[in-house]
Amino acid sequence: MKILTRALATFLLFANLAVFAQDDADTSKTTVEKIESQLKLKFQKGPGVGNLGGAAEIKIPEGFVFLEAKDTQTLLEAMENPTGGDELGFIAPASLDWFVVFEFDDSGYVKDDEKGNLDADKMLESMKRGNKEGNKERKRRGWAELNLIGWEIKPAYNDQTHNLEWAIKCESAGKMVINHNTRVLGRKGVMEVTLVAGPEELAPNLPKFREVLTGFDYKSGNKYAEYRQGDKIAEYGLTALVVGGASAVALKSGAFKGLWKLIVLAIAGIGGLLGKLFGRKSE
């Protein structure tokens, strides 16, 4: 059984990019150019189209940048976020004030017959049980614990776009974080879309994120409406997608091994990466 690398969050908080810009001596380069130079990456600049594996693509608006799968994984690892090989793309405004990561779970066609019966309270209870196990592993690794507080946006499914969206409030090391997730159902699996922004940036940038996401589309043969009899059917439905996908099945069976990956906390995000790469001075 496949354990999803990230079912709730991968990255949650930003350090201040403006502070970094003052610390770095080379002011002739943009943040994007500095990351390209240090990590040997190549950002694709909009307008254009970003390739998300063989199944989907995303339009890159003017003023945005995009990374394909390999470079996305390199960037995430540099931010101390474990990768599972399912990461297909990264898109962000050139300022990197917020960003989005795309991952694909090839679990099969997820039936949406639970769309009228999404019980947010029960979902939260289940997620907290999984997080309790996750905190044991984080403690073992010397990481800060993460506490789930409640919904910022309760799970809602759009049966026209086949998008499932939710956001949850968490606390770690005395700081509040908000994790926003979207799942886009396809014929052969689910595209997991994680919006990464600080709590203050989420509300003003959520409309911009949703606008960018309208440029996402599965390629011909991979769309949800193109399901054919005999296609692989996922082992779980919409509720389990919120709770943790395949990991939710493991949780119900008591197979907790690997469930610490349900919520992976990286305190620094892009800002922490920049400080590490370019030697930000500490007081």
Assess whether pLDDT exceeds 50 at residue 252: no
CA dihedral of 235, 77, 259, 184, whole degrees rounded to 10: -30
pLDDT band at 275 (very low <50, low <70, confident <90, very high): low
Return the pLDDT at 17: 35
Cα torsion 50, 85, 113, 181: sign: negative
Contact 82, 5 (CB under 8 A): yes
pLDDT band at 200 (very low <50, low <70, confident <90, very high): confident
Two tokens at 95? 């300022």
- Over residues 229-245, the mean pLDDT reads 87
Contact 18, 275 (CB under 8 A): no
pLDDT band at 82 (very low <50, low <70, confident <90, very high): low
Return the pLDDT at 113: 92
Return the pLDDT at 25: 53
- Who has greater pLDDT, 64 or 241? 64
Exposure string (b/e) for 92-107, b if CB count within 10 Å is 16 or more?
Answer: bbeebbbbbbbbbbeb
Return the pLDDT at 104: 93
pLDDT band at 127 (very low <50, low <70, confident <90, very high): confident
Collect all residues with Cβ–Cβ distance below 8 Å to 27 and sequence separation of at least 6.
21
Residue 281, exposed/middle/buried by CB under 10 A (0-12, 13-18, 19+)? exposed
Assess whether pLDDT exceeds 90 at residue 4: no
Which range (39-43, 53-57, 175-179) has the least confidence?
175-179
Q: For the whole model, what pTM was predicted?
A: 0.78
Q: How far apart are CA 142 and CA 156, in angstroms?
A: 35
Q: How far apart are CA 108 and CA 101, in angstroms?
A: 20
Return the pLDDT at 271: 52
Return the pLDDT at 274: 52
